[in-house]
Amino acid sequence: MTAPDQLLANELEQGLRGLGEACDSFAPRIGVREIGHVRSASAGIARVTGLPNVGYEELLRFPRDVMGIAFNVDADEIGVVLLGEHWQLQAGDEVERTGRVMDVPVGEELIGRVIDPLGRPLDDRPAPRGSRRLPIERPAPAIMDRAPVAEPLQTGIKVIDAMIPIGRGQRELLLGDRQTGKSSIAIDTILNQRDKNVFCLYCAIGQRTASVAKAVATLRAHGAMEYTTVVVTEGNGPPGLSYIAPYAATSIAEHLMAEGQDVLIVYDDLTQHARAYRELSLLLRRPPGREAFPGDIFYIHSRLLERATHLREEEGGGSLTALPIIETEAQDISAYIPTNLISITDGQVYLSPSLFELGMLPAVDVGKSVSRVGGKAQFKAFRREAGALKLAYAQFEELETFARFGARLDEHTRRRIDHGRRIRASLRQPEASPVPVAEQLVVLMALNEQLFERVPLERMPEAEHALRAAVTDLPEALRRRLQAGEVVTAEQHARIIEVARDAVASIAVNPEDSQEGTTS
């Protein structure tokens, strides 16, 4: 036998020996698989038979990587909410139980990513590998595990931080007609969390692709994606994905909250979520109620928003602040879904189409907006300055309405109206330009001291810009005190007013010039 033949014979002998050892060590494992079949598939749902032991909300696996959630567990068939395209399925396809409920990957690996509710990447990067997976449906923290909402979450928007404060762990509703700036306020709030140790999640539910792309581009341009995760379902996607999207995003946020982090989550918007759930319920032939919504429409939102809270120190001390967005029609805030959300949340910020058309941006209607946490979640310095400002602004709105009837006004009333107009002008703010706490406080102090009274209304933005730039002239210790929201002493307050008066002086009009202009 030649050397190559001998080598081949040795290799064959070793292979047979290894095969014999593998056969000796083989222990067959018996597993039970429960398989059913698709009876029918239509837009968003499928009807399945042959799974007698399936559980409610159990995850089912269909061919071609389509997943579904068992929603209606009836005696003769199962109504399944599809999480993929229905046209990939046909009658007779096999359906297999997974033995688990719908879950989502969680962890800091998701920060900076754009994903769908199933955890699949949408940003042309590799799939995120979360260290853990959590069910999308989880019970809300118990009452005894919660702490009072006492720490502010600064939005950087003057009218909200001063008059409608939001605390960490609060649920504040943003509502208004379409195209009134609801999403812009939410995006600006995310931008303002830079360097504040607050992680953010932006959940776009059934939005137009162009709108989502614009929001993501804004976040990237301002460096906000470094601490933000975006969960997206497109408007032309399956309604099942739109239904599970806010629950999946909340589970991602809860994981960070459980580790002691402060988290902000934006649901944009829950109107699309309610419509997706209504569509699924009608397709599954559940009994309709008011406006064709199913009877448990209140429950699907309450069990979602109740997961937002501030945990006690013993539980980690983290917080989850929710900013749900809802769309009204023809300014009707007493419609079914808006009233449901108003009753669930801790306050609302109402955006008025009338103010939007007048160019008053952000178009926040202070009279219809409220924060039920109030000053408890506000810096002490803000509370001190905003109290008088809110009263003056409310009086101005009443007097302005009265003045429209052409009534003769005395000098005192005219001064109040002029002061109110300057308050309203100072509350205007461009998009994507959050204002730091110190600069907000200096503007509020100047308003309370009526330093803008001699400034023409058309030059108010210029005067405010000069005032904010003058904050850098303050001593470093005083600026840090203002940035921390601490109450300043009388001496420090006088110093701030002196700097503010000098900054505004170059833009203010002399009383003599004002009287000459009025006479002419």
**Which among 7, 34, 237 is positioned nearest to 120, based on CA atoms?**
237
- Read off the tokens for 327: 């769309």
Omega before residue 353 within 30° of 0, cis: no
For 249, left (φ over 0), alpha (ψ -120 to 50), or beta? alpha
Bridge partners of 69, per DSSP, are 59, 81
AA letter at 371: S
Alpha carbons within 13 A on the beta-carbon side of 463: 29
**Which among 260, 373, 371 is positioned nearest to 319, based on CA atoms?**
260
Residue 265's alpha-carbon distances to 74, 212, 261, 304, 372, in angstroms, are 36, 16, 13, 12, 19
Q: Rounded CA gap, 487 and 445, in Å? A: 12
Q: Rounded CA gap, 269 and 249, in Å? A: 13
- Read off the tokens for 13: 């002998």
Q: Rounded CA gap, 94 and 89, in Å? A: 10
Q: Of the listed 129, 178, 285, 372, which one is catalytic?
A: 372
Q: Rounded CA gap, 17 and 332, in Å? A: 81
Q: Rounded CA gap, 101 and 138, in Å? A: 11
CA 212 centroid distance within chain: 13
User: Has 408 been annotated as catalytic?
Assistant: no
CA 377 centroid distance within chain: 18
**Which among 114, 329, 129 is positioned nearest to 224, based on CA atoms?**
114
Q: Rounded CA gap, 91 and 518, in Å? A: 82
**Which among 329, 324, 376, 375 is positioned nearest to 345, based on CA atoms?**
324
- Read off the tokens for 70: 């068992």
Starting at the earlier edge strand, list the strands of the sheet with 262-268. Answer: 114-115, 228-234, 198-207, 262-268, 319-327, 173-176, 347-351, 370-371
Q: Is the C-alpha dihedral spanning 171, 177, 178, 184 positive or negative?
A: negative
* Cα angle, residue 439 at apex, residues 181 and 151 outer, rounded to 5°: 75
Q: Is the C-alpha dihedral spanning 110, 112, 118, 124 positive or negative?
A: negative
Q: Residue for token digits 């941006």?
A: 361
**Is the separation of the CB atoms in 103 and 65 below 8 Å?**
no
Q: Rounded CA gap, 342 and 351, in Å? A: 14
Q: Rounded CA gap, 172 and 348, in Å? A: 5
Residues identified as active-site: 372
